Amino acid sequence: MELDRSVKIRISSSQLATWKAAAARERIPLSQMVRAVLLGRAVHRVPELNQEAWTRLAATAANLNQLAHRLNSAHNIGGDMLLAAARDQAASVLDALQKFRADLLGAHLEDAQA
């Protein structure tokens, strides 16, 4: 999910202090904590041990998403059967990457995205 919009809200100093303390405790950015609170979601922090793997995996998943996007828009190259097979393979790899990311978190991404 692309985070491309912002919302300005007013809160009390004590509310801000509570959110900052919770974000510090979880070692996550304040913005992530605020989103979790406002959306009623659990906070999922990547364990430090997995941070490097998570970062590399995120880049790989982004590349795979770009590949899938290009396949979807390349109807004239290679014929429909070739494109369908490539899309299926890309979807399978993306699914495996998402499950691996969930394992790194010790959570299920479906729960985090709900």
Q: What is the mean pLDDT of residues 100-112?
A: 63
- Which H, E and C letters describe 53-89, residue by residue? HHHHHHHHHHHHHHHHHHHHHCCCCCHHHHHHHHHHH
Question: pLDDT by residue (tens digit) across 59-90?
Answer: 778 877 777 777 776 665 666 776 777 777 77
- List the structure tokens of 17: 């202090």
Taking the model in full, what pTM does it have?
Answer: 0.41
Strand segments, DSSP code E, in 10-108 are none
CB 89 within 8 A of CB 56: no
- List the structure tokens of 108: 């299920």
Position 108 pLDDT exceeds 60:
no
